[in-house]
Amino acid sequence: MRRRVYHRRIEPPRAPRIPLAALAVVLLVGVFVLHVAYTSGAVLDDAYISFRYARNLASGRGLVFNPGERVEGYTNFTWVVLAAGVLRTGLDPAWIMPLVGVACGIAVIAVTARGARALARDELRDHPLAGVPASAVVALSPSLAFYAGTGLETALFTLLCAVGGLAVARRRPVVFAIATGVAFLTRPEAALLGLAGLVVMGLGPDGRRDVTRAATALAAIVLPYLAFKLLYFGALLPNTLAAKPPRVADGATYVLWALPEVAGLLLVGALGARSRGRTTLLALWAVFTVAVALEGGDWMPCQRLLVPSLPWLAIAVDRPLLALFTLPRSRRDAWRAALLVAALAYAPLALLDSAPLHREAATIAAYDPVRVRIARTLSDAGVRSVGTVDIGLLGYRDPDLRILDLGGLTDRAIGGSPGPHLDKDVPIASLDARAPDAFLLLSRVPPVANPSGGVMAAGFYGTERRVMGTPWFRERYRFRTAFEIRPDYYMLWFERAS
């Protein structure tokens, strides 16, 4: 009997196939980088405040804005330390930190995509394109693109919040504690994520164990930092909170301007979040948004303070969005199409902010050379102290120049004065005690000589108008020259009378 011989066909090894979702996320990263290149391109003046602190820290003068004055005039400790490390290597943080911000923005997209996919797997509702809608929401955000490239810590804080919030949704107490702890060192608003996260974890099946582990790890990061602040600055809260007292009316307006963009996403999330994880992320987003409203927002364009909560919303609506792409089987399913259209409206509504941000960056880029020239002119004239609102780039270019911050961010006496930010009733005793060599005050109109030999000018901010109107200022300072920044924006140089 003949034996049959079976020959197994050997297939050549196939190259691993790259998932379609991964390709889509890579494409969205490219879109984000192009978005950064279009909307950004200039370092915001507030970033230079942090860089001046970093320069003094790197040079051994301490964590100070003016040598000898321990005032916490920043709210981004981690970012300041990173910038100080950059300076220690001999590089300029004005060039490097925007690149770090862009890298953090790319990481936000990756974490958002991976987190949405992991959450779908936890719910046993995986999908070949899971994570793509969530990463698209983040990548198309003009705010994230703009602030990633302008030297601020926004992208880093957003990355840490994305990791921390996702860890809460997936019940990962140690990851939550580490991410939230570092986020708190980056911006104080992370305290809200820490409190909300501990409450949510306490409601889980292993709540006591999870809360204990999370609280222990979180305390190991936060408590030494708070002890350092108390010993070094003599206060737990940054001086910026006194300089910028909350104005709820402004905060409500700030939030309302952002709601139309995400209204469709919120509707999809509210109707489609059928799991505890997605509900948790939506709740975190809502709590954070309400807190921003109570905080009063800020002056920067395109709702910067709301950017860190965007990944939570994006991950929460990822799987419900994918479900809407299924074809309707009956007229009853027509609501899916309406929800999908409402959610997809996010893209064009968000991109409408790109052009204004592009113009904002162009304005800053045109303004910076003027400020550099002003700093050089003051130095050549022997000015060693100046009072001004515009403290960032001026202070960074000349670290030996003592600055009286009329905005109060880096000055306790002015920051604690009555009135809202940039409209403080500055105490004359504080001005007289410092009596800088010069004042640089902003004006909406060019200065006009008056019969008494002085000048008439309209201060840009209320604080400046109050200072210019005091007899103390008129008796001690004389107008020297004006620097034109644009036709409706001037910087006036007043020198101390001999």
Average pLDDT over residues 215-242: 95
Is the pLDDT assigned to residue 188 strictly greater than 60? yes
- What local confidence, expressed as pLDDT, does residue 235 receive? 93
Average pLDDT over residues 277-295: 93
**Residues linked to residue 388 through DSSP beta bridges, in sequence order:** 405, 440
The C-alpha atoms of residue 310 and residue 109 are separated, in whole angstroms, by 11
Query: Which residue is associated with the tokens 């109107």?
Result: 469
The C-alpha atoms of residue 450 and residue 154 are separated, in whole angstroms, by 46
Beta strands 385-388 and 438-443, pairing class: parallel
Number of CB atoms found within 10 A of residue 367's CB: 18
Alpha-carbon separation of residue 82 from 57, 142, 374 (angstroms): 11, 25, 28
| Backbone torsion region of residue 410, taken as left when φ is above 0, otherwise alpha when ψ lies between -120 and 50, otherwise beta | alpha
Average pLDDT over residues 36-64: 93
pTM of the shown model = 0.92
Residues 480, 495 contacting (CB under 8 angstroms): yes
427: CB partners within 8 A, 6+ apart: 413, 414, 417
The residue among 50 and 457 whose pLDDT is bigger is 50
- What local confidence, expressed as pLDDT, does residue 272 receive? 82
Alpha-carbon separation of residue 320 from 122, 145, 171, 313, 315 (angstroms): 15, 25, 21, 12, 10
* pLDDT band at residue 204 using 50, 70 and 90 as cut-offs: confident
**Residues linked to residue 483 through DSSP beta bridges, in sequence order:** 491
Average pLDDT over residues 267-296: 91
* pLDDT band at residue 132 using 50, 70 and 90 as cut-offs: very high
- What local confidence, expressed as pLDDT, does residue 15 receive? 46
The C-alpha atoms of residue 105 and residue 159 are separated, in whole angstroms, by 7
Radius of gyration of the CA atoms of the chain, in A: 27
**Residue 28 DSSP SS3:** helix
Number of CB atoms found within 10 A of residue 7's CB: 5
The residue among 452 and 344 whose pLDDT is bigger is 344
CA 456, 457, 462, 465 dihedral sign is: negative
pLDDT digits (tens, 9 = 90+) for 387-423: 999 999 999 988 899 999 999 999 999 999 998 888 9
Number of CB atoms found within 10 A of residue 21's CB: 18
- What local confidence, expressed as pLDDT, does residue 214 receive? 95
**Residues linked to residue 439 through DSSP beta bridges, in sequence order:** 387, 494
pLDDT digits (tens, 9 = 90+) for 308-319: 999 999 999 999
Is the pLDDT assigned to residue 101 strictly greater than 90? yes
pLDDT digits (tens, 9 = 90+) for 321-370: 998 887 656 665 677 788 888 999 999 999 888 999 998 888 888 888 88
Beta strands 477-486 and 402-405, pairing class: unpaired
Is the pLDDT assigned to residue 217 strictly greater than 50? yes
Q: 179: closest CA among 217, 152, 233, 131?
A: 217
Residues 465, 459 contacting (CB under 8 angstroms): yes
- What local confidence, expressed as pLDDT, does residue 329 receive? 60
The C-alpha atoms of residue 428 and residue 413 are separated, in whole angstroms, by 10
The C-alpha atoms of residue 313 and residue 249 are separated, in whole angstroms, by 24
Residues 134-150, buried b or exposed e (16+ Cβ, 10 A)?
bbbbbbbbbbbbbbbbb
- What local confidence, expressed as pLDDT, does residue 199 receive? 94
Q: What percent of the chain is predicted at pLDDT more than 70? A: 93
The residue among 453 and 44 whose pLDDT is bigger is 44
- Mean pLDDT of all residues belonging to the chain: 89
For the chain, the distance separating the N- and C-terminal CA atoms, rounded to the nearest angstrom, is 122
The residue among 26 and 333 whose pLDDT is bigger is 26
* pLDDT band at residue 4 using 50, 70 and 90 as cut-offs: low
Element (H, E) at 448: strand 448-449
In this structure, the dihedral spanned by the alpha carbons of residues 82, 84, 85 and 86, taken in order and rounded to 10 degrees, is 90
Among 68-77, 386-395, 443-452, 470-479, the range scoring the smallest mean pLDDT is 443-452
DSSP one-letter string for 289-335: HHHHHHHT--SSSS-GGGGGGHHHHHHHHHHHHHHHTSPP-SGGGHH
The C-alpha atoms of residue 132 and residue 113 are separated, in whole angstroms, by 6
Is the pLDDT assigned to residue 466 strictly greater than 80? yes
Q: 403: closest CA among 8, 24, 65?
A: 65
Alpha-carbon separation of residue 17 from 13, 127, 218, 316 (angstroms): 12, 17, 41, 28
Residues 65, 410 contacting (CB under 8 angstroms): yes
**Residue 439 DSSP SS3:** strand
- What local confidence, expressed as pLDDT, does residue 383 receive? 93
Among 63-72, 231-240, 284-293, 483-492, the range scoring the smallest mean pLDDT is 483-492
